[in-house]
Amino acid sequence: MSDPTTPPRPTPPAHPAGAIPAPPAFEARGLGRSPRGPRPADLASRAEALDAADDLAKLRARFTLPDGVVYLDGNSLGALPATVPDTTADVVRRQWGDLLIRSWDESNWWTAPERIGDKLAPLIGAAPGQVVVGDSTSVNLFKALVGAARLAEAAAPGRTKLLVDAATFPTDGYIAASAARMTGLTVTPVDPAHAADAMGPDTAVVLLNHVDYRSGRLHDLPALTAAAHAAGAIVVWDLCHSAGALPVGLDAHAVDLAVGCTYKYLNGGPGAPAYLYIADRHQAAFDSPLPGWNGHADPFAMTPDYVPTPGVARGRVGTPDILSMLALEAALDAWDGVSVEAVRAKSLALTDFFLECVAAYVPPGTVESVTPTLHAHRGSQISLRTDNAREVMAELISRGVIGDFRAPDVLRFGFTPLYVGFADAERAARTLGHIFG
């Protein structure tokens, strides 16, 4: 996130909208005031009416948010669920402080990775017994990629390529390169829009992001998974920017493996444990490159030979981080009774309304959207390109609108429907308009 200190007043960009070439997989779309567009008073009134009619608006009470702040950075760090502080205090004071080591049994610490995995599973379209929580996204991605390469080699020996989303978050690329060195594969970067054309008989593993972290582009998980399977490859999906924002459907679309973090739209807290999805059909053959004692069939036997436990728990490695694990479990209570489909519908309505407000409030030629217009290609964020983006975001933050910045010129606004409303979207766009004058 950019430095929240107040910078010099940003100046409008010198270039006209669309003059800077968009990065790969971006759709740049000029925005700005239209002489026939809605008036500010009309937009504020509409926001009020939309919030009044919103069935999810009451869910904001499940979160602790500072007064007067519009928080549009839930795609980096979700807001604090109101149940987490008391739960965490109980874990520290009673479970750890009073029960001490007995809590591994009496407080069910030992079963937390699978128990919380089952609690999270419906949000990504997975049946119980296929998600284990623990470690970081990077560690889980390493397990998934090496495990996928070993599954692919067993099914069709001799395949040589690991296809990787060319615009992926950098760490995914680093991990993929390491996994490729370890398994004898060659990394081949691909644009997800054309990934299906790149898949062939030499493809062993495909790694793709469900939503691009910079542009907010949503990739076609069902079609790309089907294409990977038609080519005989194993597919791994990174769900960091989609889980908790839109339906994923891992089981419905026969995804092989998936990973994701829990501190964004799932609101698990800073550094919250990530998760690993292993489809039931692959679990018996899944060979983790990190065979830790927590994934052993008999962990307390302390034998020199590793025998993986049955099921998804073989994805466990070391002792779970109980404090953050149980904070995540409490955070997931915010989803009680909430439909992911309803969240998706509100997300699209919010992002549509925000773009409309930006077009009404912001001077022409000042910003352009790099987030796809089509709902089928949009995640739950809007990314706007502009000159002086770092300074613009810092100024927004100083005025109580919190988004974030991605180099060199992208303003990101994440819309978390559980606690973001239409008045938030209107105020954010209006504040952006004020900054540019």
Q: What is the pLDDT of residues 190-203, one digit of tens each?
A: 999 999 999 999 99
Structural domain tally of the chain?
2
300 secondary structure, DSSP code: G
Give me 115's structure tokens: 């128990």
Among 431, 378, 423, which residue's Cα sits nearest to residue 54?
Answer: 423
Domain boundary among 315, 335, 355: 335
Asked if residue 14 is part of any domain, the answer here is no
Catalytic residue among 62, 161, 264, 427: 264
Q: Are strands 275-278 and 381-385 parallel, antiparallel or unpaired?
A: unpaired
Question: Are 99 and 113 within one domain?
Answer: yes
Catalytic residue among 26, 71, 169, 354: 169
Q: What is the pLDDT of residues 2-54, one digit of tens each?
A: 333 333 334 333 332 222 223 333 344 566 655 556 677 799 999 999 999 99
Rounded Cα distance, 106 and 91, in Å: 12
Give me 1's structure tokens: 């996130």
Q: What share of the chain is helix, strand, coil (3-state, %, to 5)?
A: 40, 15, 45
Active-site residue 238, yes or no? yes
Question: What's the first-to-final CA gap in the chain, in angstroms?
Answer: 24
Could you tell me if 385 and 410 are in contact, meaning their C-beta atoms sit under 8 angstroms apart?
A: yes
Residue-wise burial string across 67-85, b where 16 or more C-beta atoms lie within 10 A, e elsewhere: eeebbbbbbbbbbbbbbbe
Domain boundary among 304, 335, 366: 335
Asked if residue 229 is part of any domain, the answer here is yes
Rounded Cα distance, 119 and 172, in Å: 26
Asked if residue 360 is part of any domain, the answer here is yes
Question: Are 172 and 114 within one domain?
Answer: yes
Active-site residue 405, yes or no? no
Question: Are 418 and 279 within one domain?
Answer: no
Asked if residue 1 is part of any domain, the answer here is no
Q: What is the pLDDT of residues 317-341, one digit of tens each?
A: 999 999 999 999 999 999 999 999 9
Question: Are 159 and 306 within one domain?
Answer: yes
Q: What is the pLDDT of residue 40?
A: 72
Question: Are 252 and 266 within one domain?
Answer: yes
Rounded Cα distance, 243 and 262, in Å: 8
Catalytic residue among 54, 238, 409, 424: 238
Q: What is the pLDDT of residues 338-383, one digit of tens each?
A: 999 999 999 999 999 999 999 999 999 999 999 999 999 999 999 9
Output the domain CATH number for residue 130: 3.40.640.10
Q: What is the pLDDT of residues 293-314, one digit of tens each?
A: 999 999 999 999 999 999 999 9
Catalytic residue among 62, 378, 390, 412: 412
- Give percent of the chain with pLDDT exceeding 70: 91
Question: Are 303 and 363 within one domain?
Answer: no
Q: What is the pLDDT of residue 39?
A: 74
Q: What is the mean pLDDT of residues 269-292?
A: 98
Active-site residue 217, yes or no? no
Question: Are 182 and 248 within one domain?
Answer: yes
Asked if residue 289 is part of any domain, the answer here is yes
Rounded Cα distance, 63 and 329, in Å: 15
Question: Are 200 and 325 within one domain?
Answer: yes
Asked if residue 123 is part of any domain, the answer here is yes
Rounded Cα distance, 88 and 308, in Å: 32
Q: What is the pLDDT of residues 143-162, one digit of tens each?
A: 999 999 999 999 999 999 99
Q: What is the pLDDT of residues 87-128, one digit of tens each?
A: 999 999 999 999 999 999 999 999 999 999 999 999 999 999
Question: Are 324 and 352 within one domain?
Answer: no
- pLDDT grade for 288, boundaries at 50, 70 and 90: very high
Active-site residue 143, yes or no? no
Name every residue whose Cβ is closer than 8 Å to that of residue 194 and which is 6 or more positions away in sequence: none
Question: Are 229 and 360 within one domain?
Answer: no
Give me 324's structure tokens: 């953050």
Asked if residue 73 is part of any domain, the answer here is no
Question: Are 405 and 301 within one domain?
Answer: no
Question: Are 241 and 138 within one domain?
Answer: yes
Rounded Cα distance, 354 and 46, in Å: 12
Q: Give the phi and the psi of residue 123 in degrees, each rounded to 5.
A: -75, -15
Asked if residue 222 is part of any domain, the answer here is yes
Q: What is the pLDDT of residue 3?
A: 36
**Residue-wise DSSP of 315-328:** G--S---HHHHHHH
Rounded Cα distance, 274 and 171, in Å: 14
> Is residue 265 pLDDT above 90, yes or no?
yes
For the whole model, what pTM was predicted?
Answer: 0.91
DSSP H or E run through 367: strand 367-369
Output the domain CATH number for residue 409: 3.90.1150.10
The neighbouring-strand residues paired with 189 are: 164
Rounded Cα distance, 113 and 390, in Å: 38
Rounded Cα distance, 394 and 406, in Å: 12
Domain boundary among 335, 361, 395: 335
What's the sign of the alpha-carbon dihedral 79, 81, 87, 89? positive
Active-site residue 264, yes or no? yes
**Domain range for residue 330?**
85-335
Could you tell me if 426 and 360 are in contact, meaning their C-beta atoms sit under 8 angstroms apart?
A: no
Q: What is the pLDDT of residues 181-232, one digit of tens each?
A: 999 999 999 999 999 999 999 999 999 999 999 999 999 999 999 999 999 9
Catalytic residue among 263, 361, 419, 422: 263
Q: What is the pLDDT of residue 169?
A: 95
